[in-house]
Amino acid sequence: MAASLEIRNLHVSVEEKPILRGVNLTINQGEVHALMGPNGSGKSTLSNVILGNPAYEVTDGEILFEGKNLLEMEVDERSRAGLFLAFQYPVAIPGVTLANFLRLAINSRMKANDPDSKGISISDFRKLMRAKMDSLHMDHSFAGRYLNDGFSGGEKKRAEILQMAVLEPRIAILDETDSGLDIDALRIVAEGVSSLRGPNLGILVITHYQRILNYIKPEYVHIMYQGQIVESGGADLALHLEESGYDWVREKFSTTTP
């Protein structure tokens, strides 16, 4: 059965302040969705909830992953079930290389599925890494770097995309807004997403930048504004955003007087 992430009537508050006010969104395996919207509209709040950040309180609604209540799953359980939640360890871990980190991630997933598993062999792991890095046009030396230690914004994104390629999730959520991405990092994310696209992967790219739409052609585009998805469409909506920005969204959907 194809996996899906279903967000139903989601209401979320931060410090008692309602931020999300009834979000509905379904991502199926094989689909690429973009969630766009002006700053402060609630995009990162949504990704934080999916990540299980305890600062965000779900006051109503639900999130289902493969029909199961995602909000009751532990964070590592979410990832073992095939949900990729961007980079879960954005802090630098000196002494742990990206390759070590990825091998640990693979092994812990294999052990979770089968307690007797001995994990992936070093030679299989090397082959896997080489194949994935080649498909992403990455230099092999990158895997030997210490995780996030002095990584540029673009390199962090590269590590994230590599992690996604190696773990082969069914649904991936990428929130790009918090890191002040330059055009180079944006292109890396877009190219990575494009190269991993396929029937087994559903992707939600959360971004404020219309520019990324020059590189990724999402099948579905959603606009979030004041905690709700106010408009959904296809590539045509992306083109409209590129030409007109968000002013028309504010004019059409604003519920509070400035």
> Considering only CA atoms, which of 107, 59, 111, 64 is closest in space to residue 83?
64
> Considering only CA atoms, which of 153, 194, 174 is closest in space to residue 36?
174
Pairing outcome for strands 220-225 and 228-233: antiparallel
- Lookup: tokens for 212: 């990324």
Judged by beta carbon distances under 5 to 8 A according to partner kind, the member of Mg ion, ligand ADP, none in contact with residue 61 is none
How far is Cα 159 from Cα 156, in angstroms, rounded to an integer?
Answer: 5
Q: Is 24 in the site for Mg ion (CB under 5 A)?
A: no
Contacts (CB under 5 A) with Mg ion, residues 191-230: none
- Lookup: tokens for 258: 């400035």
Q: Is 207 in the site for ligand ADP (CB under 6 A)?
A: no
**Which position has the token pair 């939640």?**
85
Q: Is 148 in the site for Mg ion (CB under 5 A)?
A: no
Q: Give the nearer residue to ligand ADP in terms of CB position, either 19 or 221.
A: 19
Judged by beta carbon distances under 5 to 8 A according to partner kind, the member of ligand ADP, Mg ion, none in contact with residue 123 is none
SS3 90: coil
How far is Cα 38 from Cα 190, in angstroms, rounded to an integer?
Answer: 20
Q: Give the nearer residue to ligand ADP in terms of CB position, either 24 or 107.
A: 24
Contacts (CB under 6 A) with ligand ADP, residues 224-253: none
Q: Considering only residues 4, 29, 41, 44, which one is a binding residue for Mg ion as defined by CB under 5 A?
A: 44
**Which position has the token pair 């709040």?**
45
Q: Is 55 in the site for ligand ADP (CB under 6 A)?
A: yes
Q: Considering only residues 14, 73, 92, 120, which one is a binding residue for ligand ADP as defined by CB under 6 A?
A: 14
Q: Give the nearer residue to ligand ADP in terms of CB position, either 43 or 222.
A: 43
- Compute the least distance from the CB of residue 174 to ligand ADP, in Å: 13
Q: Is 222 in the site for ligand ADP (CB under 6 A)?
A: no
Q: Is 177 in the site for ligand ADP (CB under 6 A)?
A: yes
Q: Is 44 in the site for ligand ADP (CB under 6 A)?
A: yes
How far is Cα 143 from Cα 148, in angstroms, rounded to an integer?
Answer: 11
* b/e per residue 51-82 (b: at least 16 CB within 10 A): bbeeebeeeebebebbeeebbebeeeebbbbb
Size of the site for Mg ion (CB under 5 A): 3
Q: Is 41 in the site for ligand ADP (CB under 6 A)?
A: yes
**Which position has the token pair 């002006």?**
38
Residue ranges binding ligand ADP (CB under 6 A): 14-15, 19, 37, 39-45, 55, 177
List residues binding Mg ion (CB under 5 A): 43-44, 177
